[in-house]
Structure 1
Amino acid sequence: MIFELSLLAERPTRIVGGTNAKTGLHPWQVSVHWGDPDRGLEQRHVCGGSLLTAGWVLTAGHCKTLAPQHPRPLGRFLVLAGKYKLGTTEDTEQSSRVTRTFIYPGYSGTVAPYDIALMKLEKPFELNPFVATVSLPYPETIPRGDAMLTGWGSIGRGKNFDGPMILQEAVLPILDYDICKRALDKALRHEGRNPLHPTNICTGPLDGTKSACKGDSGGPLVTENAFGQAEVIGVVSWGLFPCGGRNAPSVYTRVSAYVTWIHKIMLNH
């Protein structure tokens, strides 16, 4: 199989190997849209994200770089919370424009480390059972065990996209860093580089039955902490395309490496 390095953002359908999520079970999940109907530019889902506070969203740095690639880059970011099914207006949904996007310094805009960003909302959301926040991990903690991935990423194992627009979920095993690195070193031996960094984490399974995919970018990888709270440990960053191949881990930005930066940005802006 020929592998292609891919930032996991494009047309949304669903997670490879995922199942339909239950309504309201992941209330921190948001959909980041790009466009501007006033200029005839349809707003569409480009990334996922996590609601950290009523007015701040955590997402991937490369989500910001998607906007200029549009043939008419005159749009704006809009965040939709309380979403379950894309492409339809739901009673539970709220929307807010993004006023500023803060990308972690040093991120190159490609398949690379430091792929994390914060979006400040024009109008904070009203929190309720369908729109709620997720907790941050303790700084520099290394997550282990299983984690929950949610998003509207592609189900396709090829380059075709198929499936409903309903939010998907999948429980995935967190891989040991060295195991992930070895798998990617082998898969990318013809690429000449492996962008994996110690500030990344990876999920399997390495049999390829479940995987993040295009459209999941920026979305949350979540575990339950010692207090019974949902805790965002990863932000979907990149992977090997087509999705769902054997020995092809999904790669996330490890949130615990950026907690100090996150607090600093939210406090000062």
Structure 2
Amino acid sequence: MSAKLHNPSTAPSIAVLAKRTEDLWIQKINWVVEKVAEYKSQGKRVLIYVKDGIMSNLLNQMILGHGFDSNDMASMNSSSQRVTAVSEFNDPAHATDALITTFTIGKEYRFYGACHRGLIFDYPTIMSDYVFAARCLNSTGQTEDVQWFNCYIHGTMDMMHDLVLTRSALPRIIWDADLYPGVTGELRRICAFYSAAVALGQSSSRYPRMRVHWSNMESLEIKREGLFYSAVAKFLAENSDCASKFTSETMSKIARSWKPEKGLTMDHVNCKLPEHEDGVVLYNYVVGGYKKGML
């Protein structure tokens, strides 16, 4: 098994994704309307987060146009209007289907009481905004689990927004001495990518996406690499004293002996296991090719 190479001569421009933006919004809006309908059929309401007021207004008009009851906080002119909208949304006795807010406006309110479903229409640019939104439906003594869904459309600019959001979280995680004690250097960065993935509900670390062209980010090979790096971070969270075992000389061998979705064991890390037929091959599609010292 050998790593697949990046071919710059066939790599498409990022402009290809930009041209698909309108189609992306249409897909996302249709997805949200379907989710609102699904939740209404279950007798549930949903809180929807968007990045800006223009999209908030457009999305609200589309939901209303499909016959559902919806409110758009970004279009409200006063804080009293917003307080009333939130109060009604939080009241189980008040009939409604959806409430839409931006990440900025949402920071000022609490949305718990009647709603246990949330949708992230598009990602914010910083992780703290995402985390705040994902926690805003939680309350002490709640009797129903909260469920959040990210509207991530494969093969679109969402993969770039996802990476921007992930990278925004890295400095705080890396600088937090309580996280991954004893793990330093590039391994610590690998662990930070894993923590960011967990916050976003992802099983596959975005770490290997940093070194490939956007057209390869969602490939099976890169997903498998991401699963391996997640397994490495999980292992180090419990065995930080073994950090020195992960080197540029051993990392690839460890990966090839490991099968995705399985736990990484001390035998893997000590390179005592043979190459697995379904093992993970690292360094696929690396822009500029493999460089000595890569983990």
TM-score, scaled to structure 2: 0.24
Larger Rg: 1 or 2?
Answer: 2
Greater per-residue strand proportion? 1
